[in-house]
Amino acid sequence: MFQLSAHLEETLMGNIIGSIIKNYKAEIQSIKDRDPAAASTLEILTYAGLHAVAMYRVAHWFYIRDLKFIARVISQTARFLTGIEIHPGAKIGKGLLIDHGAGVVIGETAEIGDNCLLYQGCTLGGTGKDQGKRHPTLGNNVMVGCGAKVLGPFKVGDNSKIAANAVVLETVPPNCTAVGVPARVVKQNGKRTLDLDQIHIPDPVSQELCKGRMELERLRKRVEALEKRLEKEG
C-alpha cells in the first residue's frame, strides 16, 4: 500500500512538473512572438516577468494543496527578486507576458486567460475587505497598459485593451479599449486590439471636447449671421 501511494505521489509530481515546464515553454514562445526587444531565447531567460510567472506556478501548486505558508514564502521571494507580486491564489492561463514588470500586482482572486499582456506598474486589485471574489477576471488576449489599475470583481472581455494609467472600475466588453480615469470604453468594431502599441489609442474625453469646440464654433457663426441679418433689417 505504501509503495502504491509513493508511486501515485511520484506520478502526480511528474505531471505537475511537466505542466509547469509546458507553461514555461509557452511563456517563452509568447515573449518571442510579441516582444520586439527579445533577441534570443538566452536573453528571454533573464526576463523578470518570466521568472515571476514560473515561481507563481510553483507557489500556486502549494496553495491549492492548502500549504499556504510555503506558497506565500515562494511568492514573496519572487516579489523580492523580480519586483512583481502575484498572489499564489490567482489563476493564470498559458502564455502570459509581463513586459518589464516592475510594480505589477495580481491579487488573490484575480483570473487571467490565455496569451495576456501586462505592462509595468499595472494592478489587478480588489475592493476593500470584501470576502470571496474581489479581483478582476481577464479574458483571453487582453492587454493592460503600464500603470493601469483594474479594480473589482468584474470581467474584461477577450481581445480588449486597457490603456496606460487607466482606472477600470466596471465590466469591459470583448474587443474594446478602456481609456481614462475612470475608464471609458471605446468600441473597436470587433477588431482584435492586442498589440504592443500603447500610444495610438483614441481618447474619448478629447473627442468629446473636440465635439464641444466644433459645436461652439457653429453657434458662434450662427450668432454672427443673425446679428448681420438684424443689422440689415434694422
Domain ranges for the chain, please list them: 2-201, 203-234
Q: Is the pLDDT of residue 71 over 90?
A: yes
Q: What is the pLDDT of residues 166-182, one digit of tens each?
A: 999 999 999 888 888 88
- Mean pLDDT, rounded, for 150-163: 92
Q: What is the pLDDT of residues 98-146, one digit of tens each?
A: 988 889 999 999 999 998 999 999 999 987 766 788 999 999 999 999 9
Q: Given pLDDT bands bounded at 50, 70 and 90, which one contains residue 8?
A: very low
Architecture of the 2-201 domain: 3 Solenoid (2.160)
Query: How many Å apart are CA 36 and CA 148, to the nearest integer?
Result: 22
Q: Given pLDDT bands bounded at 50, 70 and 90, which one contains residue 1?
A: very low
Distances in whole angstroms, Cα of residue 116 to Cα of each of 22, 38, 187, 225: 17, 17, 19, 55
- What the block records as the C-alpha cell of 1 is 500500500
C-beta separation of 111 from 90 below 8 A: yes
Q: Is the pLDDT of residue 38 over 90?
A: no
- Mean pLDDT, rounded, for 48-52: 87
- Mean pLDDT, rounded, for 90-105: 89
Q: What is the pLDDT of residues 56-65, one digit of tens each?
A: 999 998 999 8
Q: Is the pLDDT of residue 92 over 70?
A: yes
- pTM, two decimals, is 0.71
Residue 40's pLDDT is what?
Answer: 81
Long-range contacts of 56-65 (CB under 8 A, 24+ apart): 56/86, 56/88, 56/90, 56/92, 57/20, 57/23, 57/24, 57/92, 58/20, 59/86, 59/88, 60/88, 60/89, 60/90, 60/91, 60/92, 61/16, 61/20, 62/88, 63/88, 63/89
Query: How many Å apart are CA 114 and CA 3, to the nearest integer?
Result: 38
Query: How many Å apart are CA 161 and CA 159, to the nearest integer?
Result: 7
Residue 140's pLDDT is what?
Answer: 93
C-beta separation of 190 from 174 below 8 A: no
